[in-house]
Amino acid sequence: MAEDLPEISNDSVCPVDAKEELLNECESIWKQMEECQSKLMLLEKETLSSDVKDSRLMMQVKALTAEYNQWQKRSPEIISTNPDVLLALGMEELQKVKNDLEMLLSVLELKNKQLEEDLKREQQWHEEQEQLLDLLNGLEEETNTQVEQLSKKSLHSKAFHELRSKTLKLNVYKEKILNALGEFLEEHFPLPEKGKTAKKKNYSEEPAVELLTLHKILEILINKIMNTPHEPYVTINDSFWPPYVELLLRYGVALRHPEDPNRIRLEAFHM
């Protein structure tokens, strides 16, 4: 921008006659101003009454106001009509304008540079914010996934606790049923008395082994089919009282092995 301005030489000097003429006009105007100043000082020294002074001051205010308004409406007068003087004054004004424009240009360039630096910082900040936003979005997705997994685990844990609670209840119920079955069997299916057993068999001696109760036989059959379902058969020995074995076989509670009559198993009621 500064290069577009015309080069103004600081050595431009107006002719001597033009300078003298301009100086003379300035001295003449200065003398007039001094005369006006002296008149004003004389007016201030006059001794007048306060009322007269006030009216005089009011008149001076009105006169100065009117003069001020006239000066506002007047266009500036040319000090001199000499072309050399006007050329010198114009060159001086142009030089001032050029200096002002160069200063303004340097200020604008500096401000533009600062704006570019601010723009770079803002762009870098924007990129950092985008990266941070991507990171937060990733963390949000990961957190949502973890929450879903925790919810599933919570559901599984809840189902596990419910199943465990049901299992404990079933175990308690099972114990009650077994106890009730044991009491029923002990009451209605007691072991035979030793004297009667010997009499029926025409033995005078007591049996060599101790007979198992019906409750104990059922317990053995149940544990066998539950623990080894692939081999549920139990071998009958002398501790199994034959009437109890026949009772279980007759009413379909137990089944005899198809190839070995000395082995029986519990009917698979749970299948």
d(CA 190, CA 183): 10
For 163-193, write each residue's pLDDT tens digit.
888 888 888 887 888 788 778 877 878 877 6
Residue 154: what pLDDT?
74
Give pLDDT, residue 93: 87
- Give the integer Cα–Cα distance in Å for 28 and 80: 13
CA geometry: angle 7, 9, 10, nearest 5 deg = 135
First to last CA, the chain: 103
Task: Supply the pTM of this predicted model.
Answer: 0.38
Give the per-residue pLDDT at 84. 80
User: Which run of H or of E encompasses 164?
Assistant: helix 83-188
Residue 21 token pair: 């003429």
Domain residue spans of the chain: 2-126, 192-266
pLDDT at 123: 92
> 243-268 as b/e, with b when 16 or more CB fall inside 10 Å?
ebbeebeeeeebbbeeeeeeebbbee
In this prediction, residue 250 carries a pLDDT of 92
* pLDDT tens series, the chain, 271 aa: 444 544 544 444 445 666 677 778 778 888 888 888 787 777 666 555 566 667 777 888 888 888 878 777 766 565 667 788 778 878 888 999 999 999 999 999 999 999 999 999 999 999 999 998 998 898 888 888 888 888 777 777 777 788 888 888 888 887 888 788 778 877 878 877 665 554 454 444 455 678 888 888 988 998 898 889 899 999 999 999 999 999 999 988 899 999 999 999 998 876 5
Give me the pLDDT at residue 259, please: 92
pLDDT at 13: 47
pLDDT of residue 78: 59
Distance CA 185, CA 215 (A): 6
pLDDT of residue 79: 61
Query: What are 75-96's pLDDT values in tens digits?
Result: 656 566 778 877 887 888 899 9
